A and B are shown apart, each in its own frame.
Chain A
Amino acid sequence: MARGLIRRLVFGLIAIAGVIVLAFLLEFVVPGDPARAIAPRATSLQVLANIRAQLHLNQPLIVQFAGYFGNLLRGNLGTSYIQHQPVAAVIGPRLLTTGVLALAGVVAEVIIGGSLGILAALYSRVRALIGAVNLTLLAVPIFVLGLLLLLLFGFKLGIAPVSGGAGPAELVLPALTLGLIGAPWYAQIVADQMQESLASSYVRTAVSKGLPDSYILRRHVLRNVLSPAITMVGLDLGSYLSGVVTVEVVFVWPGIGLLAVNSLHNLDRPIVMGTVIVGAVAVVFFNLVADVLRMFVDPRTREEP
């Protein structure tokens, strides 16, 4: 068990390193002159040359990368071109903000999707209806859904805040949006797994032992559904993060996603690279967490194949 985790950790570190290299390389393809970005109103070429020298922009690539990597290891992510602050200081506080939204979204999608899946598996009458609901949710782009929810609950009904912010009231709609978008996937997984469980031999054994239906559902069926659902959370991370970024833009939620998008438009490269690296680390970390959780829940995955 530990061996498997260590192996995944190593792969994760390699992936992060790869991302760092890629991000760094990409910077040199991006059009635009960083010196100009920092000092847009400078007119003297000398000033620009000084800035370039300061940023070591004239050095060979390898040297620049070495310098950057060295800084990274010391926790120094560079300085924002626009805000003139250390990148780490800009990104840091927003980590928690995004984290809260991400967590709320996962909870929402598991609850909504799981409920839909369970209902669909147990009650054949609603199965077609839930299928239609799922199809509709799949067809909606996340930002359209977010805007429609904002329109309905924010503007028409007036029960949700419409201006940006980071409080609990502002959390509801974006989390709900994330939840609804992710729900169909969980509904499918949960429904399939439940149908398989309900038809399985061990449920028949449980019935033969005279156990009550609700007990069987709780103790036998749902437990077997948990493992694939948790795997799903882990696999989903890439597209989930994308969703978080979009939702932050739609609802003006002051997290890393909004920061990344704005910085890209402003060509504030250090921040962009910083967010990309932070994103990569987050993905690797949460994948590991999902693996650990899955081993915890499904004892069959504990032995290494």
Chain B
Amino acid sequence: MSAVTSGGSGASPPGLGAAPRRRAPWLRAPAADAAGRRAIRRWPWQLVAGVAVLVVLAGLAIAAPLFGSPTHQDLIHGLGPTGLPVGPGPGYPLGADLLGRNELVRLVYGIRVSLIVAIVSNATSIVIGAAVGLFAGYFRGPVEQILMRFTDIGLALPYTLAGLVIAAVMSAGMTRVIVIITVLFWSYPARLVYGEVLRLRTRGFVEAGEAMGARGMAIVRRHLAPHVTSMMIAYSPLNAAAAVAFEATLSYLSAGINPPTASLGNMISDGQAAISYRPLLVVAPGLAIMVLTLAFLLVGEGIKAYNPDLRRLSWLGG
């Protein structure tokens, strides 16, 4: 084994990187070299794959009403003679669930719910978190101390338990889930942004801006915001993936979206009782969650492959 004597090529995480090549104005592209400009314009495959899957799923979600009603219980056709749900067949491509509802329709509606939750809670948690990080990093002093204490608490909370506790004080539904995710997720981007602002400070951006006479919010807006924005753009796919998984977990534990509204999580908890003879009721929504999460993660990997400067984020998200 000559691995030890070969001398490493430098730390790089086991990843799926393909070489980034193209520029895009909204992403901070790496310093282009001559070879880069001459190279064939290529998107990283992770980005393409991830976006493609998301587009397909989004299409399904938008077209959901065309599939039928997710809450309609057909006890005659949905349940067989023994009272157990029917398997895949005509009219029920994925079979029926324990209450005679069409599993496929519920699946599509569940995807829709997951996507909506992911997008909305992603936006809210990142906006709040980035704002906290920016203010803490720029204004320093007591503001920084207070905000970062809160952030530390947010980071240390066991999020499932905390989510359950918050769930106990709100009524079931999408609002509840979005609130929980926002409250529990904002501290991660806050810490990332805070660290980045501190780093930017050591590189003199802030001092330079102040020397030019800009103050306060202007500096934040013109000098810090662009860096932070590109960082958050790279971070949001990870955040969205986590949001999808967390919404599913909460709904599974009856602390998110409860039946009869279809959520991939509560479909699994409903179907768990039938796992021995109709595993599809668990496997189908489970696979849907995985595909959705994987799509977001691939997009995230693709963005990082495109601009290796953002590798700082790694999978740990900070």
Contacts and interface: CB of A to CB of B under 8 A. Distances in A.
User: Is chain B in direct contact with chain A in the complex (CB below 8 A)?
Assistant: yes
Given A30-B168, A213-B5, A279 B158 contact: yes
B170 to A, nearest CB: 9
Contact of A26 (B169, B283, B289): B169
B315 A191 contact: no
Contacts, number: 167
Interface residues of B, number: 54
A126 to B, nearest CB: 9
B169 A279 contact: no
Contacts of A132: 16
A128 to B, nearest CB: 7
A132 B298 CA distance: 11
Interface in A172-216: 184-185, 187-188, 191-192, 195-196, 198-199, 203-204, 207, 213-214, 216
Interface in B220-258: 241, 245, 248-249, 252-255
Contacts of B15: 131
A128 B158 contact: no
Residue of A26, A135, A187 ringed by the most chain B CB atoms within 10 A: A135
Contacts of A110: none
Given A144-B290, A155-B276, A188-B316, A242 B14 contact: no
Interface stretch (A44-52, A93-101, A264-272, A289-297): A264-272
B174 interface: no
B294 A136 contact: yes
Contacts of A184: 315
A221 B1 CA distance: 15
Contacts of B245: 139, 141
B13 A188 contact: yes
B286 A29 contact: no
A210 B255 CA distance: 60
A141 B248 contact: yes
Contact of A139 (B7, B252, B290): B290
A80 interface: no
Nearest to A204: B7
Interface in A97-135: 120, 122-123, 127-128, 130-132, 134-135
B1 A187 contact: no
The size class of the interface chain A forms with chain B is 35 or more
B272 A147 contact: yes
Interface in B264-307: 268, 272, 275-276, 279, 282-283, 286, 289-290, 293-294, 297-298, 301
B7 A245 contact: no
A239 B184 CA distance: 11
B66 interface: no
B282 A151 contact: yes
B165 interface: yes
Contacts of B159: 238-239, 242
A260 interface: yes
A35 interface: no
10 contacts: A122-B3, A123-B3, A136-B294, A144-B268, A147-B272, A151-B283, A184-B315, A195-B12, A241-B161, A283-B156
Interface of A: 15, 18, 23, 26, 29-31, 120, 122-123, 127-128, 130-132, 134-136, 138-144, 147-148, 150-151, 155, 162, 184-185, 187-188, 191-192, 195-196, 198-199, 203-204, 207, 213-214, 216-217, 221, 237-243, 245-246, 249, 257, 260-261, 264-265, 267, 272, 276, 279, 283
Interface of B: 1-5, 7-16, 153, 155-161, 164-165, 167-169, 241, 245, 248-249, 252-255, 268, 272, 275-276, 279, 282-283, 286, 289-290, 293-294, 297-298, 301, 314-316
What are the 3 tightest A-B residue pairs by CB atom distance, in nearest-first order? A199-B8, A242-B160, A241-B158
Given A138-B315, A139-B293, 17 more contacts: A142-B249, A144-B290, A150-B275, A187-B14, A195-B9, A198-B7, A203-B4, A213-B1, A214-B1, A238-B158, A239-B159, A246-B252, A260-B161, A260-B164, A264-B168, A276-B161, A279-B158
